[in-house]
Amino acid sequence: MLDTSVFNFQAPKTQIAHQIYDLHFFVQGICAAICAVLFAVLFYVLMRYRKRPNRAPMRFTGYKPIEITWVIVPCLILIVISVPATRAVFAMKDTSDPDITVKITGYQWQWRYDYLNEDIGFYSALSTPREQIDNREPKKENYLLEVDHPMVVPVGKKIRILVTANDVIHSWFVPQFGVKQDAIPGFIRDAWFRVDAPGVYRGQCAELCGKEHGFMPIVVNAVPEPEYVAWVADQQAAKHAALEAGTAAAAKTFTVEALKSDGAKVYTHTCIGCHQANGQGLPPTFPSLAGGKTATGAIAEAINIVVNGSTKNPAMAAWKNQLSDLELASVITYVRNSFGNAVGDSVQPKDIASARHEDK
Amino acid sequence: MNSMQVVAVSSPAKAVNERQGITRWLISTNHKEIGTLYLIFSFTMFLVGGTMALCIRAELFQPGLQLLRPELFNQLTTMHGLVMVFAAVMPAFVGFANWQLPMMIGAPDMAFPRLNNFGFWLLPPAAILLIASFFAPGGATAAGWTLYAPLSVQMGPGMDMAIFAIHLLGISSIVGAINIAATILHLRAPGMTLMKMPMFVWTWLVTAFLLVAVMPVLAAAVTMLLTDRHFGTHFFNAAGGGDPVLFQHIFWFFGHPEVYILILPAFGIISEIIPTFSRKALFGYRSMVFATCAIGILAFLVWGHHMFTVGFGVGPELFFMYATMLVAVPTGVKLFNWIGTMWGGSLTFEAPMLFAVGFILVFLVGGITGVVLAVAAVDVQLQDTYYVVAHFHYTMVAGSLFSLFGATYYWLPKWTGHMYDEALARCHFWLSIVFFNMTFFVMFFLGLAGMPRRIPDYPLQFANFNMIASIGAAGFGFSQLLFLYVVLKCIRRGKLAKGRVWEGAVGLEWTLPSPAPKHSFATPPVIE
């Protein structure tokens, strides 16, 4: 289970989260005390001044000293609160001198992490199976809080995050870090955190971003420094391997069947949220692929809309940066030959490569 | 020719009385009839919005997707907000203003009776547009009631229907507000100076100015959205040189005064009810007036606290934090004055008073959590979580809605000439306050633990509180049918009400017989 106390914030794991935790405790304490006093006075009044025979109501309609007091006292309390509150804002906004800078991009509906100095980057999407969401399988412990590719950071280092989005506004929120930063398309905002202890920290997108808003969690693995260094090396190696595989694939010609079976996997991972398992989509925002004009029409058009996105419908993103040539070729072939579509042709990785090339 | 003119001059009152059936309501210019229309409309929409809320809570009863697909869930949360704010609570207060303001200031009717009729009849088409948008291709707008761009740019035609509905509702609010302000400023009985006006009149005067100031701002925001969607502008598109956050600034410049529009008349209602059932004049009337005006002014300076997580620098973050904390001062003055009114009074607890006291209790929780949320760093943790959902339902449901229930029981005998069923009304209060707290108090814990709002499904650690909230919501929803029953019963029959319905009631409306005649104060009363 998460380190959760059900009546309070999750256990804070960064300096800022601690600061917020204490500040909240302080402010909430003052507010609870005010509430308690007012409730007590109110109940006293309700009991004491109940209507009774032989007692006329008093006639006063104001009393200056007390009216002035209850303007001044709240002001004083607010000043007391504002001192630590101001300090916390300054601490939160101090993103200077980071050890590591990671760019985080919100997509409908996954996150991308780019480690700017290490030259690695990857997408991170929900890994909870659909069967659990649709109640066909029992739900596991980290239901809706697990991803295929978590963000990894070293403990004790100041991580500066640059947050932006690709399509609509998202919000990167990890409760135990005390970080919530809206991801705004076209703009970059920053925030920071330094994790105290190794562990897996989980959060969710906190700004309504469309229909899968509830299904784009955030998972951060905080690990000791050496482990982080090893992880970075692994990622870099994997990146080179993928590049080489891409070059190899570009030279090869795949059969329709092979592409279709790979494409089905890509479709399930990437396309199914909008276009649905049966390819019928949810028109008009998410059009049907079954018998769709673009899906079954000229091959160049079909490639273009997947690679570059739709010029008319902002819900259809450009996938050229998120998928490899082989993945794009597979999924387009799959769509053209599934859901009752039977165009029969195949799209090869090299077609995608040339489409990318023309684009430039 | 000459004689016809004489006939025309002498007959209007008679002609008005003779109109029957649907035309009587369609072309009525009588403030009481239009007030009734507003109240019927708003209660109908309250049931519609409430049904949506119950669908939402039913889906959230357990983890997993059971009843609603995510896209429909988002449509329901969006429309629940739009319907409740624009079609239920706002028109309800206008309904009370229509019925009560002329009677409370000794005016024969509203200043612009035909405009009054027009303002109301804009509402049904707007409501039809909103509801019908569920059947548009792609369904209703699912961008949240805040309609944030660029998500709202992605929506289907349901979004355009919502935009036009908002335009209609906005025009309705503006003409209603102009009418109310003009009535209050020009039609007061001789001798009723501004500082002698009942608090409900004062709060509505300030509210009317807020409405006229901010509804055009909302109209601008949704129009810019419309042109972004269809006419190639890029107000909110960074790729075209625009800024998505601009939408939020414009929206919340409207949106924050809007929440005071929803709560100030409620303050006014409570300030009428408490003195009546305390049998004692309002404590600190002048400071109440100043507090109302102060809240009205501060309303324009705090919109940024809805945007603490968009990435402001230190400067705006601190400015909006301090300004927001300041709101607590005049709001506190109001609470203290109400308690001061009751102090030394002679209290009885009929249904209106129960709702007024209940209002103070729950509104205090809503208000004080507002102070917690004002602290920017804490807000970063709580923004867009269920804590905020709990906070604004404590102010909007327990605040605005409870005051509306209290006002209904308070003035209904004056309108119908019958007393309502006191036992059932008290029962309605107790059911409402228990189920309300059951629904929304647990949401504070959900928010603290980090559950985001507007999600159709949630991680397992949030399951228990969600189940409690859903059961509470069902109880709260069905309790409102009791309210409907009590009101209908009171309209048909009941003990006859006196002119001065309540022992402690003062004010011009209580000098009229019950039920109030259709045309009251044709000759103005004189106030010493």
- The whole-angstrom distance between A30's CA and the closest CA on chain B is 10
Helix B90-105 / helix B402-416 crossing angle, nearest 10 deg: 50
What is the H or E stretch that residue A111 is in? strand A110-115
Nearest CB partner across the interface for B311, out of A60, A85, A181: A181
Residue A271's pLDDT is: 85
For the residues B146-168, what does the mean pLDDT come to?
94
pLDDT digits (tens, 9 = 90+) for B362-395: 999 999 999 999 999 999 999 999 999 999 999 9
- Asked if A138 has any chain B CB less than 8 Å from its own CB, the reply is no
Helices (H) and strands (E) in chain B, counts: 20, 0
Splitting chain A (360 residues) into consecutive groups of 10 residues, what average pLDDT does each group show? 68 94 95 95 95 89 92 95 95 94 94 93 91 92 94 96 95 96 96 95 95 95 96 93 83 85 86 85 84 85 87 79 86 89 85 76
Grade residue B2 by pLDDT with cuts at 50, 70 and 90: very low
Q: Which of B264, B349, B257 is nearest to B297 (CA)?
A: B257
Instruction: Say whether A185 sits in a helix, a strand or coil.
Output: strand
Tokens of A322: 């998120």
> For residue A132, how far is the Cα from the chain centroid?
20
- The whole-angstrom distance between B519's CA and the closest CA on chain A is 34
Measured distance CA(A203)–CA(B458) in Å, rounded: 11
In DSSP notation, B442-493 reads HHHHHHHTTPBSS-SS--GGGHHHHHHHHHHHHHHHHHHHHHHHHHHHHHH-
Assess whether pLDDT exceeds 60 at residue B118: yes
Question: Angle B186-B190-B195 (CA atoms, 0-180°, nearest 5)?
Answer: 75
- The whole-angstrom distance between A259's CA and the closest CA on chain B is 31
Q: Using the beta-carbon criterion (under 8 Å), do A46 and B155 form an inter-chain contact? A: no
Q: Using the beta-carbon criterion (under 8 Å), do B329 and A42 form an inter-chain contact? A: no
Q: Using the beta-carbon criterion (under 8 Å), do B348 and A60 form an inter-chain contact? A: no
Please say if B322 is a catalytic residue. Answer: no
Tokens of A47: 């009991």
Q: Residues of A46-56 as b/e, b for ≥16 C-beta within 10 angstroms?
A: eeebebeeeee
Please say if B167 is a catalytic residue. Answer: no
Chain A neighbors of B309, CB-CB under 8 A: 171, 180-182, 206
Please say if B306 is a catalytic residue. Answer: yes
On the CB side of A223, CA atoms within 13 Å amount to 15
Tokens of B166: 């908002």
Q: Which of B65, B56, B67 is nearest to B458 (CA)?
A: B65
Which residues partner with A120 through β-bridges? A115
Assess whether pLDDT exceeds 70 at residue B4: no
Residue B18's pLDDT is: 59
On the CB side of A25, CA atoms within 13 Å amount to 11
Instruction: Decide if A57 contacts A45 (C-beta within 8 A).
Output: no
Q: What are phi and psi of B251, to 5 degrees?
A: -60, -45
- The whole-angstrom distance between A123's CA and the closest CA on chain B is 21
Please say if B334 is a catalytic residue. Answer: yes
Q: Within 10 Å of residue B209's Cβ, how many Cβ atoms? A: 16
Instruction: Decide if A98 contacts A192 (C-beta within 8 A).
Output: yes
Question: Angle A262-A266-A268 (CA atoms, 0-180°, nearest 5)?
Answer: 115
The amino acid at B366: G
Chain A neighbors of B380, CB-CB under 8 A: 20, 92, 178-180
State chain A's mean pLDDT as an integer: 90
Residue A235 — left, alpha, or beta (φ > 0 → left; ψ -120 to 50 → alpha)?
alpha
Measured distance CA(B105)–CA(B187) in Å, rounded: 7
Q: From the candidates B28, B78, B141, B173, give the one annotated as an active-site residue.
A: B173
For the residues B245-249, what does the mean pLDDT come to?
96
Q: Prior bond to B150 cis, omega within 30?
A: yes
Residue B17's pLDDT is: 54
- Asked if A93 has any chain B CB less than 8 Å from its own CB, the reply is yes
Q: Give burial (CB, 10 Å; 0-12/13-18/19+) of B30.
A: buried
pLDDT digits (tens, 9 = 90+) for A289-346: 888 888 888 888 888 889 888 877 777 888 888 888 888 988 999 999 888 888 888 8
Tokens of A184: 């705004």
The contacts of residue B199 (CB under 8 Å, 6+ apart) are: B267, B268, B271, B272, B282, B285, B288, B289, B292
Percent with pLDDT over 90 in chain B: 91
The contacts of residue A272 (CB under 8 Å, 6+ apart) are: none
- Asked if A134 has any chain B CB less than 8 Å from its own CB, the reply is yes
Which residues partner with A173 through β-bridges? A180
Q: Using the beta-carbon criterion (under 8 Å), do B329 and A175 form an inter-chain contact? A: no
Q: Using the beta-carbon criterion (under 8 Å), do B345 and A39 form an inter-chain contact? A: no
- Asked if A59 has any chain B CB less than 8 Å from its own CB, the reply is yes
Instruction: Determine the residue of chain B that is closest to A208 in CA distance.
Output: B454
Instruction: Say whether A200 sits in a helix, a strand or coil.
Output: strand
- Asked if A200 has any chain B CB less than 8 Å from its own CB, the reply is no
Q: Which of B471, B6, B386, B219 is nearest to A204 (CA)?
A: B386
pLDDT digits (tens, 9 = 90+) for B479-515: 999 999 999 999 999 999 999 999 999 999 999 999 9
The contacts of residue B311 (CB under 8 Å, 6+ apart) are: A163, A181, A182, A184, A187, A189, A190, A191
Q: Using the beta-carbon criterion (under 8 Å), do B70 and A215 form an inter-chain contact? A: yes
Instruction: Decide if B160 contacts B139 (C-beta within 8 A).
Output: no
Q: Which of B213, B214, B237 is nearest to B224 (CA)?
A: B237
Please say if B453 is a catalytic residue. Answer: yes
> What is the interface size between A and B, counted as CB pairs within 8 Å?
292
Percent with pLDDT over 70 in chain B: 96
For the residues B448-460, what does the mean pLDDT come to?
95
What is the H or E stretch that residue A228 is in? helix A225-251
Q: Using the beta-carbon criterion (under 8 Å), do B452 and A204 form an inter-chain contact? A: yes
Q: Within 10 Å of residue B241's Cβ, how many Cβ atoms? A: 9
Q: Using the beta-carbon criterion (under 8 Å), do A41 and B339 form an inter-chain contact? A: yes
Measured distance CA(B343)–CA(B331) in Å, rounded: 19
Nearest CB partner across the interface for A27, out of B155, B340, B372: B372
Measured distance CA(B424)–CA(A289) in Å, rounded: 57
Q: Using the beta-carbon criterion (under 8 Å), do A78 and B325 form an inter-chain contact? A: yes
β A217-223/A100-107 pair status = unpaired
Q: Give burial (CB, 10 Å; 0-12/13-18/19+) of B12.
A: exposed
Assess whether pLDDT exceeds 80 at residue B179: yes
Please say if B286 is a catalytic residue. Answer: no
Tokens of A237: 């190696």
Q: What is the pTM of this model?
A: 0.91
Instruction: Determine the residue of chain A that is closest to B142 in CA distance.
Output: A210
Residue B8's pLDDT is: 36
Q: Within 10 Å of residue A200's Cβ, how many Cβ atoms? A: 14
- Asked if A190 has any chain B CB less than 8 Å from its own CB, the reply is yes
Mutation pick from A8, A21, A93, A202 vs chain B, by most beta carbons of B within 10 Å, is A93
Assess whether pLDDT exceeds 50 at residue B1: no
- Asked if A206 has any chain B CB less than 8 Å from its own CB, the reply is yes
- The whole-angstrom distance between A226's CA and the closest CA on chain B is 31
The amino acid at A355: A
Q: From the candidates B453, B454, B489, B519, give the one annotated as an active-site residue.
A: B453
3-state per-residue secondary structure call for B268-335: HHHHHHHHHHHCCCCCCHHHHHHHHHHHHHHHHHCHHHHHCCCCCCHHHHHHHHHHHHHHHHHHHHHH
On the CB side of A334, CA atoms within 13 Å amount to 24
Instruction: Say whether B518 sits in a helix, a strand or coil.
Output: coil
Chain A neighbors of B378, CB-CB under 8 A: 20, 23-24, 27, 85, 88
Q: Using the beta-carbon criterion (under 8 Å), do A206 and B452 form an inter-chain contact? A: yes
- The whole-angstrom distance between B73's CA and the closest CA on chain A is 8
Please say if B428 is a catalytic residue. Answer: no
Chain B neighbors of A282, CB-CB under 8 A: 71, 138
3-state per-residue secondary structure call for B149-197: CCHHHHCCHHHHHHHHHHHHHHHHHHHHHHHHHHHHHHCCCCCCCHHHC
Q: From the candidates B334, B393, B414, B428, give the one annotated as an active-site residue.
A: B334
Q: Within 10 Å of residue B492's Cβ, how many Cβ atoms? A: 9
